[in-house]
Amino acid sequence: MPKSNVKVQCYVDSCDYWENNNLCAAEAIEIDNQSIGDLTMEMGTLGEGKDEAKTSKGTYCRTYKPK
């Protein structure tokens, strides 16, 4: 059963829902499990090759919305 009051930490400060203390302020969070080569990443790619995520695919958090 889902918990109604869970704090989710996020370090993607380019997201609109990112708040102080690295907390996510979204009402709901959807994360898509992605496969990269032979590795399965649960939330995002390591490093992404750029400084900041610009799309939800950069984090694999479908809730991501750029600032």
What is the reported pLDDT for 56? 66
Q: What are the sequence ranges of the domains in the chain?
A: 6-67
pLDDT, tens digit, for every residue of 15-52? 999 999 999 999 988 887 665 555 554 444 444 455 66
Residue 20: how many other CB atoms lie within 10 Å: 6
pTM score, two decimals? 0.63
Cβ-contact 44, 60 below 8 angstroms: yes
